[in-house]
């Protein structure tokens, strides 16, 4: 074990990958907290962004969140192929699919997040809404941590899959507490 560790202070040893993980995790946690603080302290405007073609801001958010969720599921499936967890040979293009579905998922989620932050802020009037507010902050913090981890060398093999899993968990929870709820109460309204 001594060869896999280095001396940092008298009597203390740190694994080489620890710093590579800790800094992105702290940055992600800071993003989560800052989003939560901003959302809680700013006065909700009740409106924000709108995209033509939707009947309401809620419908826009619901459909964009659904597209983002589907792209996150594509990310999950492509990651399973890349990591050899599915009984298929990884095609040469799977990495590009993974990268581009991730980029599109984030791009599609930004209007939703901006609308939620600016129009509603951090709400907690019932369990579903509180859970949604917490997951929104968590999800973007986990995303920042994952993106920073991708730039690090010397990570344990499990670090990126765990970070990706946390982002997927956040996106899934957000979809369940918003879009699914909307579809159940309003149908498939555009």
Concatenated DSSP letters of 47-74: -----TT-SSHHHHHHHHHHHHHHHHHH
pLDDT at 80: 95
- Find out whether 137 and 32 touch, Cβ atoms under 8 Å: yes
Residues of the chain with pLDDT under 50: 1-8
Asked whether residue 117 is assigned to any structural domain, the reply reads: yes
* pLDDT (0 to 100) of residue 67: 96
Give a yes or no: residue 148 inside a domain: yes
Check residue 5 and give its pLDDT. 44
Give the per-residue pLDDT at 190.
Answer: 67
User: What Cα–Cα distance (Å) separates residue 177 from each residue in 74, 146, 163, 164?
Assistant: 20, 23, 21, 20
Domain count of the fold of the chain: 1
Decide if 152 is inside a domain: yes
Quote the pLDDT of residue 6. 43
Determine the structural domain holding residue 95 and report its residue range.
32-46+53-186
Q: Note whether residue 2 is domain-resident.
A: no
Beta partners for 14?
6
Residue 163 lies in a domain: yes
pLDDT of res. 2: 39
Q: How far apart are CA 43 and CA 176, in angstroms?
A: 26
């Amino acid at each position: 074990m001594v060869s896999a560790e280095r001396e940092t202070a008298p009597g203390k040893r740190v694994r080489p990958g620890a710093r590579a993980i800790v800094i992105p995790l702290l940055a992600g946690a800071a993003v989560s907290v800052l989003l939560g603080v901003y959302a809680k302290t700013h006065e909700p405007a009740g409106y924000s962004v709108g995209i033509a073609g939707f009947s309401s801001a809620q419908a826009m958010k619901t459909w964009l969140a659904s597209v983002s969720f589907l792209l996150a599921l594509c990310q999950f499936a492509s990651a399973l192929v890349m990591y050899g967890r599915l009984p298929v040979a990884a095609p040469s293009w799977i990495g590009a699919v993974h990268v581009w579905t991730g980029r599109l998922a984030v791009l599609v989620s930004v209007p939703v997040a901006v609308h939620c932050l600016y129009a509603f802020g951090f709400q907690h009037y019932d369990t579903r809404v509180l859970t949604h507010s917490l997951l929104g902050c968590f999800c973007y913090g986990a995303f920042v941590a994952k993106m920073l981890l991708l730039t690090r060398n010397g990570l344990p093999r499990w670090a990126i899959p765990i970070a990706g899993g946390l982002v997927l968990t956040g996106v899934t929870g957000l979809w369940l507490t918003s879009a699914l709820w909307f579809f159940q109460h309003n149908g498939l309204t555009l």
